[in-house]
Structure 1
Amino acid sequence: MNEKQTGLEWFNINVKSLLVDDFELKYVDEKDGDLGDLSGVQFDLDKKGGYVYFWSSGYVGFQLVDYEKELEVVEDTTEEITSRSYDEVFNTLLLQLK
């Protein structure tokens, strides 16, 4: 991960391009939550949807759900980014979106 690259910049480069044009994107920006300031994106389509969140404290969260099958394709996950890159942390999500 490029240290100067924000979470949303990483999302726009690495995830947004994997989402078909029909996905509705909702950008989230909230201050002073339990894990610090939150920025992220919720993405939804009739068949599936999910989210990618980045907190100022170094935590990330993500999930992908198949609405038709009522199944979590990528389990609701919140974890702290330590020495791993965004590519490593979000690998499971990226593989399911390809």
Structure 2
Amino acid sequence: MDKIKNIDWFKNEIANNLKGYELIYKSFEDGDFGSLNQVEFNSEKISGNIDFWGLGWLGIFVWDSIEEQELLNILLEPHQNEEKEKALKKMQELL
């Protein structure tokens, strides 16, 4: 069974592989889709954030700072598990 994708998953599976990135962790109790755990990532080339919502929503934004263009901007609903896996994989490839 797939691991639940949340802030702890990010810290354990992704954060250690992000060499050269500044990681900023934020939490908000009352977001649009429940509580929000957000990771902001910044490097010279790529920046963005990933939002893990308490109600199961997932948001990913990735920006290319050199080309000044959006690489990924997606908000997925709780039931879109296959799409979440694809989006997280795409995010990892971009980073």
With normalisation by structure 2, the TM-score equals 0.82
User: Could you say what the CA RMSD is over the residues aligned between the two structures, in angstroms?
Assistant: 1.9
Give a deviation string over 1:17-73, Cα, whole Å, max 9, x none: 3311x2111101001111110002001112211111101111010111110110112
- AA of the residue aligned to 1:13: N
- Tell me the number of residue pairs that the alignment of Structure 1 and Structure 2 aligns: 93
Runs of 4+ aligned structure 1 residues displaced above 4 Å come to: none
Residue pairs, 1:13-92, within 5 angstroms: 13-20=12-19, 22-74=20-72, 76-82=73-79, 84=81, 87-92=85-90
Structure 2, unaligned runs of 5 or more: none
Matched position secondary structure for 1:13? helix
Aligned to 2:8: 9
Structure 1, unaligned runs of 5 or more: none
Aligned-pair identity (%): 26
Higher relative contact order (CA 8 A, sep 6+): 1
Q: 1:42 to 1:49 in 2, by over 3 A?
A: same
With normalisation by structure 1, the TM-score equals 0.80
The CA distance in 1 between the partners of 2:64 and 2:80, in whole Å, is 31
